[in-house]
Amino acid sequence: MSTLLSVDGLTLRTGGRSLLSNVSFSIEKGEVFALVGESGSGKSLTSLAIMRLLPQAIKVVSGDIFLHKESLFVLPEYKMQKIRGKKIAMIFQEPMTALNPVMTIGDQVAEVLKLHLGLSVKEAKVRVIALFEEVSIPEPKSRYGWYPHQLSGGQKQRVMIAMALACEPDLLIADEPTTALDVTVQAQVLELLMRIRKERDLSILFITHDMAVVSQIADRIAVMREGEIVEMAPREHFFTAPSHPYTKKLLKDALGDKGSREQRAGSKLLEVKDVKVHFPVKKGFFQRTVGYIKAVDGVSFSIAKGKTLALVGESGSGKSTIGQAILSLVPVSSGHICFEGVDLATLSLSERKLYRKKIQVIFQDPFSALDPRMPIAEILREGMDALGVGPQGKEAQDAYMRALLQTVELEPEFLFRYPHEFSGGQRQRIGIARALSVEPELIICDEPTSALDVSVRAQILTLLKKLQDERGISYLFITHDLSIIRTIADKVAVMKDGKIVEQGSVSDVMDSPVQPYTQKLLKAAPKLPDITL
Amino acid sequence: MSLMLLWTDIMVWILTGMILLWGWRLSKSPEARRKWHYIFRSPLAMASAVVLGFYMLFALADSVHFKVTEPSKTERLYAGEIVSLLDMAMMHQKAYSERTYSAPFATTEYAKSIVVGEDGITRQQNLPLKHVAAEYPVKKSLLALFLGIFVSLLLIGAHLWLTAQEGFMQRIFAVFKGKSELPWRTGYAVLTLFIVLFTWLYVMSFSYHVLGTDKVGGDVFYASLKSIRTGVLIGILTTLVTLPLAIFLGVSAGYFRGWVDDLIQYLYTTLSSIPGVLLIAAGVLMMQVMMDNHPDWFASTIERSDLRLLFLIFILGVTSWTGLCRLLRAETLRISQMDYVTAAKAFGVSKWRIMARHIVPNLTHIILISVVLDFSGLVLAEAVLSYVGVGVDPTMYSWGNMINQARLEMAREPMVWWSLFSSFAFMFVLVLAANLFSDRVQHVLDPRNAQ
Q: What confidence tens digit (pLDDT) does each residue in A98-145 have? A: 888 888 999 988 988 888 888 888 989 999 999 998 888 888 888 898
Torsion of CA A400, A406, A411, A417, to 10 degrees: -40
CA distance B314 to B286: 13
CA distance B268 to B282: 18
In angstroms, the Cα distances linking B5 to B65, B66, B78, B299 are: 6, 7, 18, 13
Interchain CB distance below 8 Å, A438 and B347: yes
What proportion of chain B, given as a percentage, has pLDDT over 90?
27
Asked if A397 contacts A438 with a C-beta cutoff of 8 angstroms, the reply is no
CA distance A169 to A91: 12
Interchain CB distance below 8 Å, A356 and B342: no
Strand partners, A477: A310, A445
CA distance A521 to A492: 13
Average pLDDT over chain A, rounded to an integer: 86
Minimal-distance CA residue of chain B relative to A448: B339
Asked if B168 contacts B147 with a C-beta cutoff of 8 angstroms, the reply is no
Strand partners, A308: A475
| Chain B contact for A356 (CB, 8 A cutoff) | yes
Interchain CB distance below 8 Å, A361 and B346: yes
B window 80-99, beta carbon within 8 A of A:
none
Minimal Cα–Cα distance from A365 to chain B, Å? 8
Asked if A446 contacts A240 with a C-beta cutoff of 8 angstroms, the reply is no
Average pLDDT over residues B320-341: 91
| Chain B contact for A327 (CB, 8 A cutoff) | yes
Average pLDDT over residues B34-58: 91
pLDDT of B195 > 60? The answer is yes
CATH T-level topology, domain B220-449: MetI-like fold (1.10.3720)
Give per-residue pLDDT as tens, A19-61: 888 899 999 998 999 999 888 788 888 988 998 888 888 888 8
Nearest to B143 by CA among B212, B209, B196: B196
| Chain B contact for A417 (CB, 8 A cutoff) | no
Interchain CB distance below 8 Å, A368 and B343: no
Identify the pLDDT of residue B450.
58
In angstroms, the Cα distances linking B24 to A196, B18, B27, B29, B181 are: 64, 10, 5, 9, 21
| Chain A contact for B167 (CB, 8 A cutoff) | no
Interchain CB distance below 8 Å, B346 and A418: no
Angle between helices A454-471 and A424-436 (to 10 degrees): 20
Q: Which residues of A touch B350 (CB under 8 A)?
A: 386
| Chain A contact for B296 (CB, 8 A cutoff) | no
Phi–psi pair at A294, nearest 5 degrees: -90, 85
CA distance A285 to B266: 13
In angstroms, the Cα distances linking B240 to A111, B154, B233 are: 52, 35, 10
DSSP assignment, residue A265? -
Average pLDDT over residues A157-177: 88
Identify the pLDDT of residue B53.
93
pLDDT of B152 > 60? The answer is yes
DSSP string, B28-95: T-HHHHHHHHHHHTSHHHHHHHHHHHHHHHHHHHTT-EEE--S-BTTTTB-TT-EEEHHHHHTHHHHS
Phi–psi pair at A19, nearest 5 degrees: -100, -45
Query: What DSSP element (H or E) covers A389?
Result: none
Interchain CB distance below 8 Å, A371 and B361: yes
Tell me the pairing of strands A342-343 and A499-505.
unpaired
CATH T-level topology, domain A267-282+290-358+440-516: Rossmann fold (3.40.50)
Identify the pLDDT of residue B330.
94
Interchain CB distance below 8 Å, B339 and A364: yes
Minimal-distance CA residue of chain B relative to A432: B343
Minimal-distance CA residue of chain B relative to A323: B346
Interchain CB distance below 8 Å, B346 and A370: no
CA distance B41 to B172: 18
Identity at B289, one-letter amino acid code: V
Q: Which residues of B touch A370 (CB under 8 A)?
A: 340
Asked if A477 contacts A308 with a C-beta cutoff of 8 angstroms, the reply is yes
B window 26-45, beta carbon within 8 A of A:
31
Q: Which residues of A touch B348 (CB under 8 A)?
A: 352-353, 356, 386-387
pLDDT of B328 > 90? The answer is yes
Minimal-distance CA residue of chain B relative to A421: B31
Largest CA distance in chain A: 76
Asked if B209 contacts B419 with a C-beta cutoff of 8 angstroms, the reply is no
CA distance B6 to A523: 80
Here the ipTM equals 0.79
Tell me the pairing of strands A442-446 and A359-362.
parallel
Minimal-distance CA residue of chain B relative to A436: B347
In angstroms, the Cα distances linking B371 to A482, B242, B356, B375 are: 50, 9, 19, 6
Q: Which residues of B touch A431 (CB under 8 A)?
A: 343
Angle at A200 (CA atoms; ends A197, A203), nearest 5 degrees: 50
Which pLDDT band holds residue B329 (cuts at 50, 70, 90)? very high
Q: Which residues of A touch B353 (CB under 8 A)?
A: 386
Interchain CB distance below 8 Å, B348 and A387: yes
C-beta neighbour count of B297 within 10 angstroms: 11
In angstroms, the Cα distances linking B46 to A297, B36, B56, B184, B329 are: 61, 11, 15, 8, 32
Minimal Cα–Cα distance from B385 to chain A, Å? 39
DSSP string, A28-49: ETT-EEEEEE-TTSSHHHHHHH
| Chain B contact for A368 (CB, 8 A cutoff) | yes
Q: Let me know if B56 is exposed, middle or buried by CB neighbors in 10 A (0-12, 13-18, 19+).
A: middle
CA distance A494 to A502: 5
Query: What DSSP element (H or E) covers A116?
Result: helix A105-117
Bond into B414 cis (ω within 30): yes
Interchain CB distance below 8 Å, B346 and A365: no
What's the length of chain A?
533
What proportion of chain A, given as a percentage, has pLDDT over 90?
17
Average pLDDT over residues A287-299: 82
Torsion of CA B9, B12, B14, B15, to 10 degrees: 180
B window 193-252, beta carbon within 8 A of A:
none
Interchain CB distance below 8 Å, B348 and A386: yes
Minimal Cα–Cα distance from B42 to chain A, Å? 20
B window 319-358, beta carbon within 8 A of A:
338-340, 342-350, 353, 357-358
Asked if A401 contacts A392 with a C-beta cutoff of 8 angstroms, the reply is no
SS3 B117: coil
- Residue boundaries of the structural domains of chain A: 3-255, 267-282+290-358+440-516, 366-438
Minimal Cα–Cα distance from A345 to chain B, Å? 15
Which residues, including other chains, have CB under 8 Å from residue A8's CB and lie 6 or more apart?
A24, A63, A64, A65, A66
pLDDT of A445 > 90? The answer is yes
C-beta neighbour count of B123 within 10 angstroms: 11
CA distance A96 to B215: 67
Identity at A434, one-letter amino acid code: R
| Chain B contact for A329 (CB, 8 A cutoff) | yes
Q: Which CATH architecture has domain A3-255?
A: 3-Layer(aba) Sandwich (3.40)
Strand partners, A420: none
Question: What is the gyration radius of the CA atoms in chain A, in angstroms?
Answer: 26
Asked if A217 contacts A194 with a C-beta cutoff of 8 angstroms, the reply is yes
Interchain CB distance below 8 Å, A368 and B339: yes
Give per-residue pLDDT as tens, A297-349: 889 999 998 889 999 988 878 888 899 899 888 888 888 888 888 888 778 77
**Contact pairs from chain A to chain B, CB under 8 Å:** 61
Which pLDDT band holds residue B73 (cuts at 50, 70, 90)? low
CA distance A93 to A97: 9
CA distance B231 to B384: 12
A window 71-130, beta carbon within 8 A of B:
none
- Residue boundaries of the structural domains of chain B: 220-449
pLDDT of B451 > 50? The answer is no
Asked if A191 contacts A177 with a C-beta cutoff of 8 angstroms, the reply is no
Interchain CB distance below 8 Å, B31 and A363: no
Average pLDDT over residues A472-495: 89
Edge to edge, the sheet with strand A342-343 lists A288-304, A268-283, A334-339, A342-343
Average pLDDT over residues A425-437: 92
Nearest to B247 by CA among B134, B187, B328: B328
